[in-house]
């Protein structure tokens, strides 16, 4: 796993950084956690962070910054137009992607708004390896449709396929043929495919996708939000790239895309986003929307301090010892859970450790939100909060029926360089206890169900007194431990 071998033979990820600023954490008692979970309507989004021991909800905007990033923030050039900070960020992007033009935005979904408004019209079809919530929403909002062309294996929970994020080239061709190339404004490739467990695509596959795009005269757009993890996986899993540097791999990927966009809440370990291209026409078309929705062309809604941090963060992303930290800790947690029999997505991907709630809780019907119930139970057992990624995250049909999700997952995100190994071990240990007591966990039902994006604000209750039973069992097993 780690590049550093231990004499004992143990497979342990080694931190290649030291901690110099810390934030004190609070671990409430199991009784307090039970009350907090009830107060939050069994929705981890509604917990107060003061009640959370390990915040594993997301990797967005919560990654650790480096000393060099913090130092750069002190030298930001705050001017509305023509800021030096913009020039530095634009140059950092040109250095790694080789792209001349850069359009700044306030975050990743803002890039999706701009790209979709520019290129998607009624009847457009956008093929992609897999959708992301906001990417799909913007395409649909502009009258388009998403066609996912993932390989069959992408949705298998356990697999040995190192690149579950690859596109099925035959399906891609078929979708373009059927829609008519003139109705396909672009093909979207997502690095580190978020919703199927942070699974990477290979460079070989992206080259194939490029060939198809050339054949049909269609643009290729790369969502590079989770590129850092994907770079690590290409380097470690794709034979042909083992001796290439991260910088060379990045450049090869970038050269295949017409437009690259990213959320800097993930890529670059700060907060913001942007669109990069060498296509002058695309740049000219999209930039009008930047001034309309984001801000002037030299800040795009971002604070100049964050822009300085992104510029340094992007450079640091070219360091293999930096980008391997997330995936190595995720693999470690995944293996710890596997050892204890807990069903998890394999191979381990980027972003976080993904637990399969359907096989964890086979006795909880999908209509009773097993992934939501498991996320609540994990919080009660550990004070760690993850995110439900299952039926609760879908939208109810107009006739009131539930569209059941393809997968019922709980994502335990590992924000980059934030948690130590003992904390990861603690989370895995509590989840393993929960697995041994899984029969105690029951389902959930909505008491307040918003019409859109219900998973953000919706409130639920337990279908029985299982949360109380769970807390009671915890107290019996752990004595007066927190
Ligand atoms: C997070 C994310 C986005 C959206 O970025 P925001 O900064 O949260 O708006 C888009 N695509 C992918 C793959 C992401 O992970």
Cα of 6 from ligand 1 centre, angstroms: 36
Tell me, in angstroms, the distance from the centre of ligand 1 to residue 438's CA. Answer: 33
Q: Is residue 13 part of a domain?
A: no
Domain membership flag for residue 252: yes
Q: What are phi and psi of 233, to 5 degrees?
A: -70, -35
Residue 90 lies in a domain: yes
Among candidate residues 266, 285, 319, the one where a domain is terminated: 319
Per-residue model confidence as pLDDT tens digits over 197-232: 999 999 999 999 999 999 999 999 999 999 999 999
Q: Which domain holds residue 175?
A: 67-319
- If asked whether residues 456 and 369 sit together in one domain, one would say yes
Options 6, 68, 133, 158, the catalytic residue: 133
Same domain, residue pair 171 and 141: yes
C-beta of residue 257 within 8 angstroms of C-beta of residue 76: no
Contact 12/332 with Cβ under 8 angstroms? yes
Q: Identify the helix (H) or strand (E) that includes residue 282.
A: helix 280-289
Do 221 and 326 fall into the same domain?
A: no
Does residue 159 sit within a domain?
yes
CA distances from 210 to 128, 216, 217 (A): 13, 10, 10
214 is catalytic: no
Is residue 285 located within the same domain as residue 367? no
Query: What is the spatial distance between Cα 422 and Cα 344, in angstroms, rounded to a whole number?
Result: 20
How many A from CA of 266 to the centre of ligand 1?
8
Cα–Cα distances in Å, from 140 out to 112, 122, 188?
11, 9, 14
Q: Which of 20, 80, 152, 399 is catalytic?
A: 80
CA angle 393/137/44 to nearest 5° reads: 25
Active site residue 132: yes
Sole residue written with tokens 């596959």: 205
Residues 302 and 273 in one domain: yes
d(CA 126, CA 19): 43
Ligand 1 atom nearest to 192, measured from its CA: 13
Does a structural domain hold residue 20? no
Longest dimension (CA), the chain: 67
Task: Report yes or no on 97 lying in a domain.
Answer: yes
Residue 346 is among the residues annotated as catalytic for this protein? no
**Are the C-beta atoms of residues 316 and 68 closer than 8 Å to each other?**
yes
Residue 25 lies in a domain: no
Task: Tell me the CA distances in angstroms from 423 to 53, 333, 380, one per residue in order.
Answer: 10, 10, 16
Strand partners, 187: 220
d(CA 68, CA 447): 47
Cα–Cα distance for residue pair 419/401, rounded to 1 Å: 40
Measure the CA–CA gap between 386 and 54, rounded to whole angstroms: 9
- Whether 313 and 326 map to the same domain: the answer is no
pLDDT for position 2: 54
Q: Assess whether 389 carries a catalytic annotation.
A: yes
H helices then E strands: how many in the chain?
18, 14
What is the model's pLDDT at position 414? Answer: 97
Overall domain count for the chain = 2
Instruction: Please tell me the distance from the alpha carbon of residue 267 to that of residue 274, in angstroms, as a whole number.
Output: 11
pLDDT at residue 1, rounded to an integer: 45
Intervals of the chain under pLDDT 50? 1
| Residue 237, domain CATH | 3.40.640.10
- Between the alpha carbon of residue 132 and those of residues 113, 147, 315, the distances in Å are 13, 12, 26
pLDDT of residue 406: 87
294 with 367, same domain: the answer is: no
Same domain, 351 and 439: yes
3-state helix, strand, coil in the chain (%, to 5): 45, 15, 40
| DSSP string for residues in 405-444 | PS--EEEEE--TTTS-HHHHHHHHHHHHHHHHTGGG---E
d(CA 139, CA 185): 11
C-alpha closest to that of 468 among 39, 44, 35, 29: 35
Q: Is the domain of 255 the same as that of 356?
A: no
Q: Radius of gyration of the chain from Cα atoms?
A: 22
Active site residue 266: yes
**108 Cα–ligand 1 center, Å:** 5
Report CA(263)–ligand 1 centroid distance (Å). Answer: 5
Tell which one of 126, 193, 259, 265 to mutate to probe ligand 1, the residue whose CB is within 8 A of the most ligand atoms: 265
Residues 41, 78: one domain?
no
Q: Among residues 319, 353, 372, which one ends one of the domains?
A: 319
pLDDT in tens, 9-66: 988 999 999 999 999 999 999 999 999 999 999 999 999 999 999 999 999 999 999 9
CATH code for position 379:
3.90.1150.10
Answer yes or no: is 215 within a domain.
yes
Of 255, 289, 319, the domain-final residue: 319
Pair (271, 351) in one structural domain: no
Comparing CA positions, the residue from 76, 96, 104 lying closest to residue 308 is 76
58, 60, 126, 267, best to mutate for ligand 1 pocket (most atoms within 8 Å of CB): 60
Same structural domain for residues 149 and 172?
yes
pTM for the whole structure: 0.95
**Given ligand 1 and candidates 57, 59, 132, which is best to mutate, with the most ligand atoms within 8 Å of its CB?**
132
């Amino acid at each position: 796993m780690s590049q550093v071998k231990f004499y004992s033979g143990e497979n342990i990820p080694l931190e290649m950084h030291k901690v110099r600023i810390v934030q004190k954490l609070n671990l409430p008692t199991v009784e307090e956690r039970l009350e907090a979970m009830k107060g939050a309507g069994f929705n981890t989004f509604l917990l107060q962070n003061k009640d959370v021991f390990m915040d594993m909800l997301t990797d967005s905007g919560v990654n650790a910054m480096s000393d060099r990033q913090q130092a750069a923030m002190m030298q930001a050039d705050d001017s509305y137009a023509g800021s030096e900070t913009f020039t530095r960020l634009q140059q950092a992007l040109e250095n790694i992607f080789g792209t001349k033009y850069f359009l700044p935005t306030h975050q990743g979904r803002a890039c999706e708004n701009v790209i979709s408004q520019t290129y998607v019209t009624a009847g457009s079809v956008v093929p992609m390896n897999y959708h992301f919530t906001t990417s799909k929403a913007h395409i649909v909002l502009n009258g388009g449709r998403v066609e996912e062309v993932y390989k069959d294996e992408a949705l298998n929970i356990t697999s040995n396929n190192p690149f579950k994020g690859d596109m099925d080239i035959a399906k891609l061709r078929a979708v373009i043929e059927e829609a008519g190339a003139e109705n396909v404004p672009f093909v979207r490739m997502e690095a580190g495919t978020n919703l199927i467990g942070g699974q990477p695509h290979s460079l070989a596959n992206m080259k194939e996708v490029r060939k198809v795009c050339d054949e049909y005269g269609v643009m290729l757009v790369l969502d590079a939000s989770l590129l850092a993890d994907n770079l690590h996986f290409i380097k470690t899993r794709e034979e042909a790239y083992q001796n290439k540097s991260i910088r060379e791999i990045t450049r090869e990927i970038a050269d295949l895309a017409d437009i690259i966009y990213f959320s800097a809440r993930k890529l670059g370990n700060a907060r913001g986003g942007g669109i990069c291209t060498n296509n002058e026409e695309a740049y000219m078309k999209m930039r009008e929307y930047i001034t309309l929705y984001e801000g002037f062309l030299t800040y795009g809604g971002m604070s100049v301090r964050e822009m300085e941090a992104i510029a340094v963060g992007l450079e640091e992303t070219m360091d293999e010892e930096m980008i391997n930290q997330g995936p190595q800790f995720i693999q470690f947690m995944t293996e710890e859970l596997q050892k204890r029999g807990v069903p998890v997505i394999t191979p381990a991907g980027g972003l976080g450790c993904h637990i399969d709630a359907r096989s964890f809780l086979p006795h909880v019907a999908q209509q009773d939100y097993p992934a939501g119930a498991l996320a609540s139970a994990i919080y009660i057992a550990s004070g760690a909060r993850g995110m439900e990624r299952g039926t609760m995250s879908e939208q109810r049909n107009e006739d009131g029926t539930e569209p059941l999700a393809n997968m019922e997952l709980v994502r335990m995100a590992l924000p980059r360089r934030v948690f130590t190994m003992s904390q990861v071990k603690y989370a895995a240990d509590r989840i393993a206890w929960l697995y041994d007591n899984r029969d105690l966990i029951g389902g959930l039902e909505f008491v307040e169900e918003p019409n859109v994006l219900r998973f953000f604000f919706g409130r639920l209750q337990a279908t029985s007194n299982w949360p109380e039973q769970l807390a009671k069992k915890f107290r019996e097993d752990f004595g007066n431990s927190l």
